[in-house]
Amino acid sequence: MIVMLIVFFAIFVQAASGFGLALVSMPLLVGVIGVGTATPLVAVIGITAEVFLLRRYWYALNFSAVKRLSLASIIGIPLGVYVLREVDGRIITIILGVIVTSYALYALFAPRLPALQQSGWAYGFGFVGGVLSGAYNTSGPPVIIYGTCRRWEPTTFKGNLQAYFLLNSLFTLTAHMVSGNFTAVVWQNYLWALPGIGLGLLLGRWVDGRLAPDRFRKAVLLLLILLGIRLIVG
């Protein structure tokens, strides 16, 4: 039941704002089922949700940008999975807390980042996103920063993110299956999460455009700061 509620809230945030599935769910799920189970679980949940979310922004996709980011992610994901398997769980949890808190602070204060004129930067940001995805399923921060520096339009931003997240989740899912991280416990929790996925998608789509976007975004970022600090201090 707790897993279903966490997934519902995370999917709701993703559907309403275009980001937040892993950033919201991972800090909460780690405290309930552990990072080793939470990471592959969020990957398969992401695939399920992003198939539906991508349909809304398909028309605004920049396929070239998504391709470059995804190709680099393929290289980074196995490294992240290796880190998850070999590094102590407490250390991984602290690093996750630092990542979540740092991104939330960056997004909350919104510093003006320099424009990136060369599309080749996508490979570097995509690789970092792949490493973070394999270890924590949090590939979003580097890709969001890249999109900001490339000055993507809002609809293109959401479309590119959903397409990248979908492809990235597929690669991450494959890597975890090859590594033997998909246990019966992961699939059991996925079944528990399915009602939360459905309800989160429906409610998130309904409120999208009805809530004040800036206030909702700031509320989510403040929550992420609290969740990140909680992971760091244990």
* pLDDT tens, position by position, 139-157: 888 888 898 888 888 888 8
CB 227 within 8 A of CB 38: no
Report the alpha-carbon distance of residue 77 to residue 132 in Å, rounded: 7
Instruction: Give the torsion sign (CA, 76, 190, 58, 217).
Output: negative
Q: Determine the pLDDT at residue 53.
A: 80
CB 29 within 8 A of CB 3: yes
Domain of residue 47, residue span: 2-233
Overall domain count for the chain: 1
For residues 149 and 194, which has the higher predicted lDDT (pLDDT)?
Answer: 194
Report the alpha-carbon distance of residue 13 to residue 219 in Å, rounded: 11
How many angstroms separate the first and last alpha carbons of the chain?
23
For residues 125 and 159, which has the higher predicted lDDT (pLDDT)?
Answer: 125
CB 45 within 8 A of CB 190: yes
Q: Determine the pLDDT at residue 234.
A: 67
Report the alpha-carbon distance of residue 207 to residue 66 in Å, rounded: 27
Q: Of 143, 133, 35, which Cα lies nearest the Cα of 78?
A: 133
